A = this chain, B = another copy of it.
Amino acid sequence: MDLLLAQWGERRPDLDVSPMAVIGRLKRLSRLIEAELRRTFAEHGLDPASFDVLATLRRSAPPHLLTPAELMRSAMVTSGAVSQRLDRLEARGLVTRSPSPSDGRVVEVALTAEGRALVDRALPDHLATEERLLAALGTDRRDALADTLRELLESLGDGVD
């Protein structure tokens, strides 16, 4: 990445490419992390998208019911993506869909016993992988990083609404 900045300085000295130092690294780091997490999920027969849904349901208050719209906001994907994720999970018997009693437009998604058991099995491995990915950073650096990221997210409107 430092090389990249230097190359731009050579080729286009008229442009200020300094934002790339942050945004380029964020992208690379995300890709590395995603690939690593994917491997852990695969060991449990899951992919990031499926785990995301199962974990979101698992951490919600009992009886672990969420609507597709809530899952959509949580995962930051389109409604079509959520529908397809639920299709796959439902076909595997990991979640169920049932119409909401109070609003005819809404569907309630629930974790099956099997879905819950699977996410509970994968979770410790997943956390171990995340911990390993951050091993280079001490607690203070992690906290500072989390603070900075939170600030950026809030400045971009995430988690407000």
Contacts and interface: CB of A to CB of B under 8 A. Distances in A.
B20 A130 contact: yes
A145 B25 CA distance: 10
Interface stretch (A30-38, A84-92, A100-108): A30-38
A144 B142 contact: no
B23 A130 contact: yes
Looking at chain A's contact residues, the main secondary structure is: helix
A121 interface: no
Interface of A: 1-2, 4, 7-8, 10-12, 15-23, 25-34, 36, 58-61, 76, 123-124, 127, 130-131, 133-137, 141-142, 144-146, 148-156, 158-159
**How many of these chains are in the complex?**
2
9 nearest A-B pairs in the assembled complex, by CB-CB distance: A136-B155, A19-B130, A25-B149, A30-B30, A7-B59, A21-B146, A31-B76, A23-B130, A19-B131
Given A11-B58, A26-B33, A19 B149 contact: no
B26 A29 contact: yes
Identify the interface centre among A11, A32, A123, A149: most chain B CB within 10 Å of its CB: A149
A15 B10 CA distance: 49
Contact of A133 (B15, B23, B130): B23
A58 B76 CA distance: 32
Contacts of A30: 26-27, 30
A158 B60 contact: no
Contacts of A136: 151-152, 154-156
